[in-house]
Amino acid sequence: MDCRQIEKIKSEAAAKRLLSKECWNSKKRICPRCSERKIYKLLDKRYRCKGCGYTFHDFTGRWINKCNLSCLQWIKIIGLFESECSILGIAKSLKISYNTAYKAVTHLRLSILSHSHNWQQWASNIETSAASHRIGSWKNAPKETFPPVFGAIKNGDQIISEYLPCLTVEDVLSLGLRLIRRNNLIYSSSFENYHSIFFYGLFDHENFDSIEFSRVKFHQELHDFWRYVAKRLCVGVSANKFPLFYKEIEYRYNNKGKISEEIVRFLCDHIPETIAK
């Protein structure tokens, strides 16, 4: 599937067929609660499990079931997301509110996160509740541990990033590493087994003006990646929202080219229990 195929889907029925098929991966429907294969269809087109009595539909418990959007709206959002359309652009194109578009893109980013390396570590520190106005933000943390510090490793042509709770910004600044600043993104020369450690936002640091940033390019392994990240970071991205936004950028870098097919699969997957709680 690519942008051209997505653009061909013009009806809700066609969009629902595509997404329903992806949800079950051409396999027979089973109960999402107890995995019972004996189910029956109800008059309202939902299903009921003969084992535990659970009532469900094709999208129950999946990312695609979030935000009260139609299947056709999700298909359009996926196409616009692939082309890196802004949230405001998505809202205008679909004639939905900005908040609805923001929540849709946030859930899309969370679905990407849930398929990434070491995702549990990241997800445990990001607000994932749809009921929270802070959804997609880094959870409240003591001032001395915020902003969070991350480490990046280049493995072949892939970037792997990890949250480093053992390090604070103060630690990074005291290590004597060379630092480069790109707007609010600050990253370092290599440290231990990481090609770079980085954080985003240092607005209220008392010695911010005295920090010396390097003008010399270093660690060529990640130079192209950091340029790629900086190009896509919006000026208005807050330090709280940076980690989830970063995971989207990392995913795009690691999967250059068309991503629609995989994004559809991500959205049609069940939400992991640790995130759904």
- Regarding whether 110 and 13 lie in a shared domain, the answer is yes
Residue whose token pair is 């994004």: 263
- Regarding whether 110 and 152 lie in a shared domain, the answer is no
Q: What is the mean pLDDT of residues 117-124?
A: 88
- Regarding whether 106 and 13 lie in a shared domain, the answer is yes
Alpha-helical segments (H) within 119-259: 119-123, 169-174, 220-232, 242-254
Confirm whether 84 is domain-assigned: yes
- Regarding whether 42 and 81 lie in a shared domain, the answer is yes
Confirm whether 127 is domain-assigned: no
Amino acid identity at 244: L
Q: What is the mean pLDDT of residues 148-164?
A: 94
Nearest-10 crossing angle of helices 71-82, 12-24 = 80
Tens digit of each residue's pLDDT (9 = 90 or more) over 52-109: 999 999 999 999 998 999 999 999 999 999 999 999 999 999 999 999 999 999 999 9
- Regarding whether 65 and 12 lie in a shared domain, the answer is yes
H/E run at residue 13:
helix 12-24
- Regarding whether 157 and 109 lie in a shared domain, the answer is no
42 is written with which tokens? 């109800």
- Regarding whether 75 and 42 lie in a shared domain, the answer is yes
- Regarding whether 69 and 22 lie in a shared domain, the answer is yes
- Regarding whether 167 and 90 lie in a shared domain, the answer is no
- pTM for the model stands at 0.89
| Residue 159 and residue 153 in contact, taking contact as beta carbons nearer than 8 Å | yes
146 is written with which tokens? 């915020």
Neighbouring-strand partners of residue 158: 155
Count how many domains the chain has.
2
- Regarding whether 164 and 70 lie in a shared domain, the answer is no
- Regarding whether 149 and 76 lie in a shared domain, the answer is no
Confirm whether 256 is domain-assigned: no
Tens digit of each residue's pLDDT (9 = 90 or more) over 254-263: 998 778 889 9
Confirm whether 251 is domain-assigned: no
Phi, psi (deg, nearest 5) at residue 56: -150, 170
Amino acid identity at 76: K
* pLDDT band per the 50, 70, 90 thresholds, residue 114: very high
Residues 208 and 147: their CA atoms lie apart, in Å, by 14
Residue whose token pair is 């990890």: 162
- Regarding whether 8 and 106 lie in a shared domain, the answer is yes
Domain that holds residue 169: 139-239
